Amino acid sequence: MSDSASPRTRIVALIGLRAVGKTSLGRVLSSRLGWDFQDGDESLAAEVGEAAGDFLARVGEAEFRILEEKHSLSILGRSGPLVFSLGGGATESAATQEALGQAGVWVVHLTAPVDCLLERLRESPLKRPALTDGPPEKEVELLWKRRLPTYRQLADFELETFPANVDACCEQIIAKIP
């Protein structure tokens, strides 16, 4: 499948809110393309020796974002071909935004309705620490409003992951990769 993507694209970067399907979709997409896969949270967890969510809860968001930026920049600096699933807040870093805009990086903003994200978060076995003091519903809405303009600004392509399945989403992305 890797022949379907031009050599101009060395990294397909998946961005979006938590629970939108970046990791699940990224794994299948990388397999379909025959490309490597890298997950930002898994990369960070490997370095710190604990789940990214546990690390975030232990050290706080500011310290977490510093390490997340370091990992994102390192991964975005690779030659590829690579599918990279970024953490939901990774795009809040100006340096990461700049790296996402470099030649050869094609950015896909994955999106889903807020109620779908909340259901996925409730059903997820992952422990995802709160980023605000509010209930999950308010947190997702707040993060959606805060991050959506940046996601849209960075995106080369936007894809709704609900109600589509992973295979259908992969087909849409593969058909659009420049």
Tell me the sheet residues that pair with 108.
14, 157
pLDDT by residue (tens digit) across 126-153? 666 656 666 767 877 888 889 999 999 9
Range of the domain at 95: 2-176
pLDDT by residue (tens digit) across 12-21? 999 999 889 9
CATH number at residue 40: 3.40.50.300
Sheet holding 82-85, edge to edge: 36-39, 82-85, 11-15, 105-111, 157-160
Number of domains forming the structure of the chain: 1
Q: Which of 22-36, 69-83, 109-123, 162-176 has the lowest mean pLDDT?
A: 109-123
Residue type at position 70: K
Please state whether the predicted TM-score (pTM) of the whole model is above 0.85: yes
Q: Which of 4-13, 24-33, 56-65 has the highest mean pLDDT?
A: 24-33
The rounded radius of gyration (Å) of the Cα atoms in the chain is 15
User: Where does the pLDDT of residue 1 fall: very low under 50, low under 70, confident under 90, or very high at 90 and above?
Assistant: very low
